[in-house]
Amino acid sequence: MPWPLPSEEAALLALAKAYPFDIFPESYLLRGGQAMALRALPAAPDRFAGRVPVIAHGSNRSPVQLARKFGDAAEIPVSRAWLHDYDVVYSAHVTRYGSIAANVHHAPGVVVEVFVTWLDDGQLRRMHETELGGEVYVYGRMAGIELELEAGPARRLSDAFVYLSRRGCLAMDQRPVALAEVTARQRGHAALPQVQAQDVVRARHGGDASLDTLILRAIRDPAFRRALIDSMGEGAVPTAVPHFTELHR
């Protein structure tokens, strides 16, 4: 089941506009719902043993979001990393909590900061519960990639797993729009912060509604949100991830 949303309007709006939420500035261990820098912890050779590397390109990079999904009991190592020849861009959909979520898109020459969540079997099942089963994300393997890790069992990975949007990428001038909150080198297309991206969607698809009105209606009216997503898809750039093989949806 998904994590619960707040009930008050102000809290809902703050949540929707805060995506991708607070980002820890380095590799960390989520323990007790809090992030602790891995470099400050005693060495533990088995910390990553038996765990699956899942690229976190949007909110799953944030310890705040991971704590929402997994609670205080989970212990999850998270590696800061740099993914070559890809960028983190906006998906052409609105989440159930009113944010425009992230997607990964092929961008030769770009190096983008991502995080890698190392999930055990139970944690991966829980992540599937929060990401799959709807009409947006699929899960699969990225093979033959260049992924540099700040910390972890290896300094480079050529294979990792990821959730990707089937809804394509939000576009401006027929090009994907990157998340300004996500650091990248050699980025050659536009980048917008969350609220400005939401306002682009409002201007195109919201009629005379204010941004706050549009966000709240998208949260509270699932039929409206589905119609909004369908409308966003008409001008979307198809997701391009040539290294990806789908495993689940």
Q: Is residue 1 part of a domain?
A: no
Distance CA 66, CA 73 (A): 11
pLDDT digits (tens, 9 = 90+) for 183-239: 999 999 899 999 999 999 999 998 899 999 999 999 999 999 999 999 999 999 999
In terms of Cα–Cα distance, which of 46, 30, 205 is closest to 127?
30
Query: Per the structure, how many domains does the chain have?
Result: 1
> Could you list the residue range(s) of the whole structural domain that residue 90 is in?
9-248
What amino acid occupies position 146? E
Per-residue pLDDT tens digits for 59-97 = 999 999 999 999 999 999 999 999 999 999 999 999 999
Residue 158's pLDDT is: 98
Residue 4 placed within a domain: no
* pLDDT digit string, tens, across residues 154-181: 999 999 999 999 999 999 999 999 999 9
Q: Is 243 contained in some domain?
A: yes
Tell me whether residue 58 is in a domain: yes
Residue 202 maps to which CATH number?
3.10.490.10
Residue 132 lies in a domain: yes
What is the rounded distance in angstroms from the CA atom of residue 97 to the CA atom of residue 101? 10
> Given this model, what pLDDT does residue 135 score?
85
Is 2 inside any structural domain? no
pTM for the whole structure? 0.96
Confirm whether 136 is domain-assigned.
yes
Q: Do the domain assignments include residue 137?
A: yes
